[in-house]
Amino acid sequence: MTDTLYTGISQLVTPRPGPQRGAAMRELKVIENAALLVRDGQIGWVGPAAEAPRADHEHDLGGVAVVPGLVDPHTHAVWAGDRLADFEARVEGVSYETILARGGGIRSTMRATAAASVAELVALARPRLQALWDSGATTVEVKSGYGLDFGAEIRMLGAVHELAAEFTLVPTLLIHVPPTEGREAYVQAICEELIPEVAREGLATAVDVFCEKEAFSVAETRVILEAARTHGFATKLHADQFHALGGVELACELGALSVDHLEASGPAQVAALAASPTVATVLPGVTLHLGLPAAPARALIDAGACVAVGTDLNPGSSPVFSSGLALALTVRLCGLTPAEALSACTVNAAAALGLGDRGALVPGQRADFLALHSADWRDLAYTLGANPVRGVWMGGAPVTPSVQGAV
């Protein structure tokens, strides 16, 4: 058993472990002049440096702030092709929904992704995951959903499986958009063929459905998620991105792990989430890139809900390759305080993935942590356009090249 003691920590800042709701999201523990002991990949001890226990090894971090590793609970990091023509069209006034209804948007990414091999998908996704990692994301969820057919969905999940040898990933089967014809038979085949196969092969831990006018109805979403539950999957929803159709209420009724987007949610959806353990995941990159209203994250926290933040990294609605930037944008666009944003990106994001073993720097949690460039942790929420993260540790091991030179 090897112990490593990290010293030279100006501030060690952490939320309490487990999902934090409402005002508790602001209650961070801040230890000035701190030390952190890592033992067997877990946090062994944290406290004032003056009280630190002895250890086999010691690393002086040089007087910087340390926070938990970020968890990105919502990405579509595996895709082929690009959406640059869509981007230009949108800037000129064509809406995201119109592009999708015309057969472009998500459907164009599906055509490109279906034509790619697993090896090509892995090569395309690797630098995106590396960028998230460098930005401080120590655990990243990755969805399928660009498979035109079931074989392509399985290939996407196969790519995530391969990449999981290099990164800490949580794979989700996303049922994204229906075919233009025969949707009833498609939903039935999802329930009777795709979900059972993904369960048999152990390729995902949760099933997500895009519940929206241009995608699946509330009734279809219910059928798919009930089949998912039967096969032992956790459930998640994309809901209220453009229209509040009832997806949030369905998520709460089914006990989904999270319901994500919420840009069109109003007081009824806020009240439903405040009364539910389902995590409300907001995606500020979508607000920035599509010019949508911000999700009511401030109202959700004030009402007592558990709010998480994700990048939603994808080529169409959120080309955000930094979890730290998602954190910083949530402060600007959704009115979260820096403390709330840190809880949203750590313990609450972990809860959105059903993970209780990470996100807080307390004994027994995974030793996933970040050393910032700054002595003040608030630089994480303040900095835009540069990386405030100097080093990333996963399971107690430094994982970025910059860290290896620095410690």
Annotated binding site for Fe(3+): 74, 76, 238, 312
Angle between helices 118-134 and 150-163 (to 10 degrees): 50
| Residue whose CB is less far from ligand NIG, 17 or 145 | 145
Residue 232 carries which DSSP code?
T
| Residue whose CB is less far from ligand NIG, 263 or 368 | 263
Exposed/middle/buried for 92, CB within 10 Å: 0-12, 13-18, 19+?
Answer: exposed
User: Which residues does residue 140 pair with via DSSP β-bridges, in sequence order?
Assistant: 72, 169
Residue with the closest Cβ to ligand NIG? Answer: 316
Burial letters for 132-150: b for 16+ Cβ neighbours within 10 Å, e otherwise?
bbbbbbbbbbbbbbbbbee
H-helix or E-strand spanning residue 286: helix 284-290
List the interface residues with ligand NIG, window 50-89 (CB under 6 A): 76
Q: Which residue in the set 7, 258, 314, 400 belongs to the binding site for ligand NIG (CB under 6 A)?
A: 314
Can you give the binding site for Fe ion, defined by CB under 5 A? Answer: 312
Compose the 269-308 pattern: x for residues touching ligand NIG by CB under 6 A, - for all others: -----------------x----------------------
User: Shortest approach of ligand NIG to residue 361 CB, angstroms?
Assistant: 30
* Amino acid type, 244: A
| Residue whose CB is less far from ligand NIG, 124 or 371 | 124
Q: How far apart are CA 148 and CA 93, in angstroms?
A: 28
| Residue whose CB is less far from Fe ion, 249 or 312 | 312
| Contact status, residue 172 vs residue 208, Cβ threshold 8 Å | yes
Q: How far apart are CA 210 and CA 395, in angstroms?
A: 33
Alpha-carbon dihedral 7, 12, 18, 22, rounded to 10 degrees: 180
| Contact status, residue 367 vs residue 391, Cβ threshold 8 Å | no
Q: Residue 144: which region, alpha, beta or left (left: phi > 0; alpha: psi -120 to 50)?
A: beta
User: Shortest approach of ligand NIG to residue 86 CB, angstroms?
Assistant: 8
| Residue whose CB is less far from ligand NIG, 11 or 241 | 241
Angle between helices 106-114 and 150-163 (to 10 degrees): 80
List the interface residues with ligand NIG, window 190-219 (CB under 6 A): 210
Instruction: Identify the CA nearest to 381 among candidates 333, 318, 321, 349.
Output: 333
Compose the 350-389 pattern: x for residues touching ligand NIG by CB under 6 A, - for all others: ----------------------------------------
Contact partner at residue 109 from Fe ion, ligand NIG, none, CB < 5 to 8 Å by partner kind: ligand NIG
| Residue whose CB is less far from Fe ion, 45 or 242 | 242
| Residue whose CB is less far from ligand NIG, 258 or 318 | 318
Mark the segment that binds ligand NIG (CB under 6 A) among 6-14, 104-112, 248-256, 347-355. 104-112
Cα four-point dihedral sign 317, 322, 326, 328: negative
| Residue whose CB is less far from Fe ion, 240 or 379 | 240
Compose the 317-336 pattern: x for residues touching ligand NIG by CB under 6 A, - for all others: xx------------------
User: Shortest approach of Fe ion to residue 51 CB, angstroms?
Assistant: 44
Contact partner at residue 39 from ligand NIG, Fe ion, none, CB < 5 to 8 Å by partner kind: none
When asked if residue 316 is in the footprint of ligand NIG (CB under 6 A), the reply is: yes
CB atoms within 10 A of CB 96: 24
Instruction: Identify the CA nearest to 263 among candidates 208, 318, 328, 218.
Output: 318
3-state secondary structure of 394: strand
Compose the 151-190 pattern: x for residues touching ligand NIG by CB under 6 A, - for all others: ----------------------------------------
Residue 192 carries which DSSP code?
I
List the interface residues with ligand NIG, window 221-250 (CB under 6 A): 238, 241
Q: How far apart are CA 187 and CA 176, in angstroms?
A: 11
Binding residues, by number, are 74, 76, 83, 146, 176, 238, 241, 312, 314, 316-317
How many chain residues touch ligand NIG (CB under 6 A)? 14
Binding residues for N-formimidoyl-L-glutamate, by number, are 146, 314, 316
| Residue whose CB is less far from ligand NIG, 39 or 238 | 238
Using CB under 6 A, list all residues that contact ligand NIG. 76, 105-106, 109, 210, 238, 241, 286, 312, 314-318
